[in-house]
Amino acid sequence: MQMEKGKIYDYNTVPTPCFVVEEELLKKNLEILKNVIDRTGCHILLAQKCFSMYHTYPLLSKYLSGTTASGLYEAKLGKEYFGKETHVYSAAYRDDEIDELLDICDHIVFNSFSQWNRFKDKAKKKDIKCGLRINPKCSTQEGHAIYDPCAPYSRMGITNENFDRENLEGISGLHFHTLCEQNSDDLLTTIKSVKEQFSDVLKEMEWINFGGGHHITRKDYDIECLVDCINEMKEEYGLEVYLEPGEAVALDAGFMISTVLDIVSNGIDIAIVDTSAACHMPDVIEMPYTPQLAEAVRIVAAGGETYDKDLSVKSMMEEQETFKLYRIGGPTCLAGDVIGDYIFDRDLKIGDRLTFKDMAIYSMVKTNTFNGMRLPAIAYKDKEGIKIIKKFGYEDFKNRL
Ligand SMILES: *Cc1c(COP(=O)(O)O)cnc(C)c1O
């Protein structure tokens, strides 16, 4: 399909596969975050590893305090397109990148005393605030060990036993990141644990960073409890408080638009779409989870499971003959490239468009070209309509190899 520059599309005409991020939906999230900033005086940074669509940075920077980065490249992107504060945390920095990082960042967080010792002389010569990431060993999430920095043997952060209170000259803040898609009750639990272990250190610090994983813009999020957590930390220890959510910034603000390429049958009807779970939404397989699909009546099961296990669906299918079950999968060679099983109230046909929800976060930043798959275009919907911001082709595949 032809993509003309400056052309305005709608959801029925935008070329697929395509990410569409909506300005109005982003603004809804940004208003909520700005309100937390206004009520508490905290700093809220965009965690770019979750959402780096820098076309939106001019808008985001009107509401948020700056960006945080996982390393040099994200830090440069934030500095260049977002401005305001630039923070960085990495489990380990490279010798050949540290000078540039120290020049462009306002805060740098080290993951170990060994990293602090290695780079502190350089850091102290620059106008940059240095912090240490602590590991309070306070797990508040179940199930997803790969998303739990407090899981046993974790390499993320310094535990209290290993925290060298004699080596803090030049350190002005502490950082913890222990949450993932969580509410503020878990933040409260974590803060209690941090205070129990590190209260003496907090008294000597200027700032604390609560990390990310705060699902602030989710409907059921308890903002009052978050506000209390921030204000108490400020009052009790006189600290500046930083939060660095990724998901909360662009939660439910973007979609992946796909087209059905074929429909086959093998005990279940299967629609093959031009979006691959493996290449375009890898968290579907990695996390794993099944994305919401606008056109479906409901989700049946996570990709890879068979619907036979789901008795409620079987009986639903028997009662309602018009309900149609489809497995939706990608075009790659990976047998497990399955997005999920869904129930529709009609037959699908080749050429139908499917709209996967909540695809701004962690999908766009994680795409890959396995199988030589085309990368989804990136589009932005504002008051005028949908505009293509980026499109990709053969050269993008070739240039990485
Ligand atoms: C992943 C991460 C974030 C952002 O987490 P979200 O779950 O996207 O809010 C922030 N800080 C650090 C150190 C992280 O690793």
For the segment 128-160, what is each residue's pLDDT rounded down to a tens digit?
Answer: 999 999 999 999 988 778 899 999 999 999 999
DSSP string, 321-366: TT-EEEEEE-SSS-TT-EEEEEEESS---TT-EEEESS-TTTTGGG
Interacting residues of 153 by C-beta distance below 8 A, sequence separation 6+:
none
- Who has greater pLDDT, 4 or 327? 327
- Does residue 156 line the site of ligand 1, with CB under 6 A? no
Q: The tokens of 101 are what?
A: 């990082």
Residue nearest to atom 14 of ligand 1 (CA): 212
Query: Over the stretch 309-352, which tens digit does the pLDDT of each residue have?
Result: 455 566 656 655 678 999 999 999 999 999 999 999 999 999 99
At 354 the pLDDT is 98
The β-bridge partners of 340 are 302, 328
Mean pLDDT of 375-384: 98
- At residue 6 the predicted structure's pLDDT band, cuts being 50, 70 and 90, is confident
The preferred substitution site among 156, 244, 286 for testing ligand 1, maximizing ligand atoms within 8 Å of CB, is 244
Exposure string for 181-195, b = 16+ CB within 10 A, e = fewer: bbbbebbbbbbebbe
Ligand 1 atom showing the smallest separation from residue 149 Cα: 15
- Does residue 45 line the site of ligand 1, with CB under 6 A? no
Residue matched to tokens 């813009």: 217
Q: What is the mean pLDDT of the chain?
A: 94
Q: Counting Cβ atoms within 10 Å, is residue 346 exposed (0-12), middle (13-18) or buried (19+)? A: exposed
Three-class DSSP category at 29: helix
How close is the Cα of 275 to the center of ligand 1, in Å? 26
First to last CA, the chain: 26
Name the H helices within 160-304.
Answer: 184-202, 223-237, 247-250, 277-280, 283-286
- Does residue 390 line the site of ligand 1, with CB under 6 A? no
Lowest mean pLDDT among 27-36, 184-193, 298-307: 298-307
- What is the spatial distance between Cα 182 and Cα 180, in angstroms, rounded to a whole number? 5
At 304 the pLDDT is 44
Residue nearest to atom 1 of ligand 1 (CA): 212
Residue matched to tokens 């009662």: 319
At 274 the pLDDT is 98
- Does residue 212 line the site of ligand 1, with CB under 6 A? yes
Residue nearest to atom 10 of ligand 1 (CA): 212
Which of 37, 35, 31 shows the shortest CA–CA distance to 240?
Answer: 37
Q: How many CA atoms lie less than 13 Å away from 314 in the CB half-sphere?
A: 6
236 has pLDDT over 90: yes
- Beta strands at 85-89 and 107-110: parallel, antiparallel or unpaired: parallel
Q: The tokens of 333 are what?
A: 């060679």
- What is the spatial distance between Cα 104 and Cα 272, in angstroms, rounded to a whole number? 45
The preferred substitution site among 132, 150, 177 for testing ligand 1, maximizing ligand atoms within 8 Å of CB, is 177
At 309 the pLDDT is 43
At 313 the pLDDT is 60
- What is the spatial distance between Cα 210 and Cα 42, in angstroms, rounded to a whole number? 11
- What is the spatial distance between Cα 46 and Cα 38, in angstroms, rounded to a whole number? 16
Does pTM top 0.85 for this prediction? yes
306 has pLDDT over 50: no
- What is the spatial distance between Cα 355 and Cα 260, in angstroms, rounded to a whole number? 11
Class of domain 260-351: mainly beta
Mean pLDDT of 98-103: 98
Identity (one letter) of the amino acid at 328?
I
Mean pLDDT of 41-63: 98
Question: Domain map of the chain by residue range?
Answer: 23-250, 260-351
Three-class DSSP category at 110: strand
Class of domain 23-250: alpha beta
Interacting residues of 232 by C-beta distance below 8 A, sequence separation 6+:
191
- Does residue 218 line the site of ligand 1, with CB under 6 A? no
- Contact indicator for 160, 118 with CB cutoff of 8 Å: no
Lowest mean pLDDT among 183-187, 235-239, 313-317: 313-317
Mean pLDDT of 300-311: 52
| Phi, psi torsion values for 232, nearest 5 degrees | -65, -40
Three-class DSSP category at 329: strand
